[in-house]
């Protein structure tokens, strides 16, 4: 049986999972099965759980739970023999942490925690997605976030006068990734591509709006392409 390092926040999450009834645990498992690959940042997790609220857990609590449960799912579940092995190890580890905290789980709470963890961790879709995410994480770099900033730069007269003759619109793509060097290749999954597509489409819309603004100011715009 594998033991885990259960810190205070993870312990609070496990106490919460132990309080779920069977329907609440099944709801959480189904939510993870549907959205696991989209819950990689707290912001994205909060957006999704706000759009698809859980009956058993409020959005703020759900995000805190995801922050502490997902590391076990991503790092341990793909290589474990089965969900029961992970659930049993987590239950024993949680009790050891609770004992050190001076507030042990009752026998009935431990049984409920194990049953609820098994519902979540032994979900076939959660397991296969966890393995897929683990494979994606083996890349040297993975996309964390992307954003496109759009700017207008004035072009002054060439005769030396400080007068704006035209303007140019340009965009800066900022990519946050898990690597550290300047030149890189980033592994993208379908969700990442959709985020990038959304950012590019928004930049195109902003360029159109800024071009309208430039035209309204009565100056010309230099198109770079």
Instruction: Decide which of 136, 164, 184 is a domain's last residue.
Output: 136
Say yes or no: 194 and 98 in one domain.
Answer: no
pLDDT band for position 28 (cuts 50, 70, 90): very high
Residue 61 contacts residue 24 (beta carbons within 8 Å): no
Q: Are strands 164-177 and 143-156 parallel, antiparallel or unpaired?
A: antiparallel
Say yes or no: 118 and 35 in one domain.
Answer: yes
Is residue 37 in some structural domain?
yes
Contact residues for 59 (Cβ-Cβ < 8 A; gap 6+): 46, 49, 50, 53
Say yes or no: 125 and 20 in one domain.
Answer: yes
Mean pLDDT of the chain: 86
pLDDT in tens, 69-84: 988 887 776 666 677 8
Say yes or no: 23 and 60 in one domain.
Answer: yes
pLDDT in tens, 144-177: 778 888 888 899 988 888 888 999 888 888 887 7
The count of residues in the chain is 225
Cα–chain center distance at 18: 24
Whole domain around residue 192: which residue ranges?
143-222
Least confident of 34-48, 52-66, 113-127: 34-48
Is residue 1 in some structural domain?
no
Say yes or no: 26 and 103 in one domain.
Answer: yes
In sequence order, what are the beta bridge partners of 151? 170
Say yes or no: 183 and 116 in one domain.
Answer: no
Distance CA 110, CA 121 (A): 16
Distance CA 208, CA 203 (A): 9
Say yes or no: 194 and 179 in one domain.
Answer: yes
Is residue 201 in some structural domain?
yes
pLDDT band for position 98 (cuts 50, 70, 90): very high
Say yes or no: 32 and 131 in one domain.
Answer: yes
Say yes or no: 110 and 166 in one domain.
Answer: no
């Amino acid at each position: 049986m594998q033991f885990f390092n259960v810190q205070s926040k993870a312990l609070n999450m496990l106490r919460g999972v132990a309080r779920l009834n069977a329907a609440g645990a099944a709801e959480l498992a189904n939510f993870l099965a549907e959205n696991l690959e989209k819950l990689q940042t707290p912001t994205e997790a909060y957006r999704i759980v706000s759009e698809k609220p859980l009956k058993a857990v409020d959005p703020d609590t759900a995000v805190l739970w995801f922050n502490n449960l997902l590391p076990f799912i991503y790092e341990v579940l793909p290589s474990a023999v089965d969900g029961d092995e992970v659930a049993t190890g987590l239950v024993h580890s949680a009790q050891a942490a609770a004992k050190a905290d001076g507030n042990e789980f009752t026998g009935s709470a431990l049984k409920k925690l194990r049953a609820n963890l098994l519902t979540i961790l032994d979900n076939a879709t959660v397991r296969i997605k966890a393995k897929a995410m683990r494979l994606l994480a083996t890349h040297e770099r993975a996309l964390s976030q992307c954003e496109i900033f759009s700017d207008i730069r004035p072009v002054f007269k060439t005769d030396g006068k400080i007068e704006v003759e035209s303007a140019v619109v340009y965009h800066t793509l900022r990519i946050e990734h898990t690597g550290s060097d300047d030149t890189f290749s980033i592994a993208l999954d379908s969700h990442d591509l959709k985020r990038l597509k959304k950012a590019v489409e928004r930049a195109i819309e902003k360029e159109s709006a800024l071009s309208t603004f430039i035209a309204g100011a009565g100056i010309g715009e230099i198109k770079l392409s």
